[in-house]
């Protein structure tokens, strides 16, 4: 037993009432079901376990029949791969029949069902993901995963090249798991295999690449891992751009909301065009692309603004841009030669972000001009634009007298 790991937390998994009931139902008539993978790994590390996956010698139809007879709900969420989701009093558990690979093509695997836990462990990617625990609390470790977990090593099971060729996504998982669970430098054998096999990444769907990249950006040691990731040429290959690791570090350390999108922007968005490139490469949603495009536009604008940015300039910026994006850009560029920001301006942005001060809102609407006989159409938009420009130049006033003055300015320009 490795004293560096939390075996007490591992044992406590088996005291969870819903999980215990499910295991007792499945471990009957000669069948065996164990807790596997991430739940075992995270419990041993003393981390929160939010999802529990199970592996079973029982075939999917047996799992379904037994659990439904026990009053649980069975949902065939991945039946072609032997996975049934069992819902016990509202809590889901994925139960997968033990499998063996019949054929792999670097993206998907054809599997057959088996009953050998050791063989199932050896088909997994990393040693730290191959641990399992039985209903009696016994820990099964066929690949020295416990020692690797205690030492902070992420190591492929068996030959790294062979594991990667079974599914090229394992290259990205290698870096992501290193960033989340490892100490020191990446495993040398794994790193060399990932570098050698990286052309296989081109065969993956962009959605799968996207999911792994965004998870990597949120990992505990993302910065150090991304430095290696970039050094070995993976960032240009996958994202088509260079890495701004300094900006990424500032944003990651700040704890700003929406860490995945924000960190992606800080890492590799320099201009608005980069957002479109990333949309294509990572299948970003329209909302994500728009957010990154706003970041790129604002970054370019700030780099050309007269220094220093004072509170009045910050107020004008807040009238034109989402405060979350403003905070992101100013955090990413903190300490760079430009933009220079006065302390009072940063303090104002902080108050906006915390909701302590109301954001400036342009006080006129199209309806205000229509009420004064200005018909809808291009002229209406032109007058509103004229008034808005005057409002920005005047410091974005919010009082009624200023609103009336802006309305009069627009009416006089007809």
Q: Measure Cα distances from 341 to 106, 310, 313, 326, 345 in Å.
A: 50, 7, 10, 12, 6
Token pair 């970054």 is found at 299
pLDDT at position 110 over 80: no
142 and 172 together in one domain: no
Give the end of a domain, one of 213, 237, 261. Answer: 237
Shared-domain flag, residues 323 and 200: no
Q: Are residues 276 and 173 in the same domain?
A: no
pLDDT digits (tens, 9 = 90+) for 210-220: 999 999 999 99
Residue 310 and residue 403 in one domain: no
Confidence of residue 107 (pLDDT cuts 50, 70, 90): low
The pLDDT, as a whole number, for residue 100 is 75
What is the spatial distance between Cα 337 and Cα 163, in angstroms, rounded to a whole number?
46
Could you tell me if 14 and 144 lie in one domain? yes
Q: Can you give the CATH number for the domain in which 208 is found?
A: 1.10.3090.10
CATH number at residue 35: 3.30.460.10
Q: How far apart are alpha carbons 328 and 333 in whole angstroms?
A: 9
Residue 105: what pLDDT? 58
Say what the pLDDT of residue 242 is: 84
The tokens for 81 are 């791969």
Residue with more model confidence, 31 or 81: 31
Rounded CA gap, 185 and 228, in Å?
Answer: 9
Of 151, 175, 203, the residue that ends a domain is 151
- Domain end marker among 151, 181, 215: 151
**pLDDT tens for residues 128-183?**
999 999 999 999 999 999 999 999 999 999 999 999 999 999 999 999 999 999 99
| Mean pLDDT of the region 285-298 | 93
Q: Among 101-110, 111-120, 168-177, 402-411, name the most confident range.
A: 168-177
Average the pLDDT over 78-104 and give the result: 87
Q: What is the mean pLDDT of the chain?
A: 93
Averaged pLDDT for residues 229-254: 92
Helices (H), 128-258: 145-151, 160-166, 169-181, 188-196, 206-217, 222-231, 234-239, 245-254
What residue numbers bound the domain in which 228 lies? 156-237
pTM of the model: 0.88
Q: Which of 14, 19, 12 is nearest to 87 (CA)?
A: 19
In a shared domain, residues 69 and 142: yes
- pLDDT number for residue 257: 63
Residues 130 and 52 in one domain: yes
CA distance 205 to 198: 14
Q: What pLDDT does residue 108 have?
A: 60
Q: 4 and 146 in one domain?
A: yes
Task: Looking at the structure, tell me whether residues 116 and 210 fall in a common domain.
Answer: no
**pLDDT over 90 (residue 113):** no
pLDDT digits (tens, 9 = 90+) for 308-346: 999 999 999 999 999 999 999 999 999 999 899 999 999
For 360, the 3-state DSSP assignment is coil
At 18, list the tokens: 């819903």
Question: Which pairing describes strands 91-97 and 53-56: parallel, antiparallel, or unpaired?
Answer: parallel
79/185 same-domain check? no
Question: Is the same domain home to 225 and 143?
Answer: no
Q: What total number of domains does the chain contain?
A: 4
Q: Flag whether pLDDT at 106 surpasses 60.
A: no
Shared domain check, 257 and 344: yes
């Amino acid at each position: 037993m490795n004293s560096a790991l939390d075996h007490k937390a591992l044992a406590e998994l088996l005291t969870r009432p819903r999980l215990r009931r499910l295991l007792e139902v499945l471990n009957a008539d000669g069948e065996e079901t164990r807790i596997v993978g991430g739940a075992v790994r995270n419990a041993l590390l003393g981390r929160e376990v939010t999802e529990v996956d199970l592996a079973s010698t029982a075939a999917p139809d047996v799992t379904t029949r037994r659990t439904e007879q026990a009053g649980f709900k069975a949902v065939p969420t991945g039946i072609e791969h032997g996975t049934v989701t069992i819902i016990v009093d509202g809590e889901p558990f994925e139960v997968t029949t033990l499998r063996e690979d019949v054929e792999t093509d670097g993206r998907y695997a054809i599997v057959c069902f088996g009953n050998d836990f050791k063989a199932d462990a050896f088909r997994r990617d990393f040693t730290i993901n191959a641990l399992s625990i039985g209903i009696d609390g016994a820990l099964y470790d066929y690949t020295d995963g416990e020692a690797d977990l205690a030492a902070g090593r992420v190591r492929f099971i068996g030959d790294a090249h062979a594991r990667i060729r079974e599914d090229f996504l394992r290259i990205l998982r290698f870096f992501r798991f290193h960033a989340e669970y490892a100490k020191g430098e990446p495993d040398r054998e794994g790193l060399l295999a990932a570098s050698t096999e990286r052309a296989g990444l081109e065969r993956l769907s962009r959605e799968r690449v996207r999911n792994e990249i965004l998870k990597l950006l949120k990992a505990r040691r993302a910065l150090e891992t991304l430095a290696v990731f970039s050094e070995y040429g993976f960032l240009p290959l996958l994202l088509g751009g260079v890495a701004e690791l300094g900006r990424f570090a500032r944003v990651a350390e700040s704890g700003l909301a929406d860490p995945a999108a924000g960190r992606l922007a800080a890492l590799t968005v320099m201009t608005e065009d980069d957002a479109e490139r990333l949309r294509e490469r990572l299948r970003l949603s329209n909302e994500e692309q728009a957010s990154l495009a706003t970041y790129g536009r604002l970054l370019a604008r700030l780099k050309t603004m007269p220094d220093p940015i004072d509170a009045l300039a910050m107020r004008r910026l807040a009238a034109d841009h989402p405060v979350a994006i403003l905070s992101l850009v100013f955090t990413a560029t903190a300490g760079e030669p430009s933009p220079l920001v006065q302390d009072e301006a940063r303090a104002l942005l902080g108050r906006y972000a915390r909701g302590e001060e109301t954001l400036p809102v342009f006080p006129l609407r199209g309806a205000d001009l229509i009420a004064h006989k200005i018909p809808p159409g291009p002229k209406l938009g032109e007058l509103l634009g004229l008034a808005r420009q005057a409002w920005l130049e005047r410091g974005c006033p919010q009082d009624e007298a200023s609103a009336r003055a802006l309305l009069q300015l627009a009416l006089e320009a007809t």
